Structure formats: C-alpha cells, structure tokens
Structure 1
Amino acid sequence: MIDLNPIDELARRLSSLVPPGLREGREELQENFKAVLQSGLAKLDLVTREEFEVQRAVLLRTREKLEALEQLVAELETRAGTDNTASH
C-alpha cells in the first residue's frame, strides 16, 4: 500500500500556493489536489518498498546461481578440452 502522508503534505503545499483571494475554499482545494494526486499515482504501475525488496532478493539469488552455473560450465569445458587433448 502506498503511504498517503507525502500525498497529504503535497496537497497542503499546493493549496498554500493558491492566491489569498481564493483561500476560502482552501480545504476543498486541498482535497481536490489530494484526489488528483491519488488518481494519478493509481494509474502508475508502482510497487511497494516491500515488494521491491522481495524482487531484489530474488534477483540477487538468481544472479548468484547464474554465476555458479557459468563457473561450472567453464570447468566442464576445460575438462572436456583436456580430455580431448589427452585422447588424441
């Protein structure tokens, strides 16, 4: 779930930029800003920090396994080359 506190703060800051003559509807403007920001963020393909960290850990494990497999293939290729040379 996305933390709404930064959205609330941004909506407050935006409403504070409204000219003084329009400030009587400040709370309503703030709520409108907040709704627009939330709507815009909802359209984005975002993930939570927790989801990001889980995928990061999966990628790290996958990278470690790939490196181990690359090393194993290199060793097997070296052995295969040595075996071919010895048999000729």
Structure 2
Amino acid sequence: MINPTIIESITQSLIDHLPNDLASIKSETEKNFRSILQQQFAKLDLVTREEFDVQSAVLARTREKLDALEQTLNELTKNNNT
C-alpha cells in the first residue's frame, strides 16, 4: 500500500495549482483528487520499500546459495572426470 502522506502531498500539489477562482469548490475537489489517487495507486499493485528490500535480501541470499551449489557441482563433476 502506498504511503498516505504521498497521496496527501500529491493532492495538495494539485489543489495548489488550481486557479484562485475555483476556491469555492476546493474542498470537494480535494476529496475527489484524493479518492482518484488512492484508486489509481491501488490498481498499480505497488509494494512498499520495506517489502521490496526484504525480497531483495531474500533474492541475494538465494543467489549466494545457488552460486555455492554450482561451485560444489562443478568440483564434484571435475573430481569424477579425473
């Protein structure tokens, strides 16, 4: 899930760029922007930075194990050929 402060920041930026004569509908527009942003970010199927970092670490450990297994296999194959 996307950090709510990011949605708030984007919403505020959009509101700040509205012309001054639209101030009367600012509150309703702000709610609509927030809702649309939340819906669109939800559709993107994003992961948090923490989830990404955890999966990156798991992948790195898996890669290390695979490299070690490949090296062991190569040594065993080399020993069997001699």
Q: TM-score of the superposition, structure 1-length normalised?
A: 0.84
Identity over the aligned pairs, expressed in percent?
49
How far off is 1:58 after superposition? 1.1
Q: Pick 1 or 2: higher relative contact order, CA cutoff 8 A, min separation 6.
A: 2
In the alignment, structure 2 segments of 5+ residues that lack a partner are: none
Q: Secondary structure at the match of 2:45?
A: coil
Unaligned runs of 5+ in 1: 83-88
**Structure whose CA Rg is larger:** 1
Equivalent residue pairs, number? 82
Which ranges of 4 or more aligned residues in structure 1 deviate by more than 2 Å?
none
* RMSD (CA atoms): 1.2
Give the aligned partner of residue 36 of structure 2.
Answer: 36
Using the TM superposition, give the Cα deviation of residue 30 of structure 1 relative to its aligned residue in structure 2, in angstroms.
1.2
Using the size of structure 2 for normalisation, the TM-score is 0.89
The aligned counterpart of 1:21 is 21
Aligned to 1:85: none
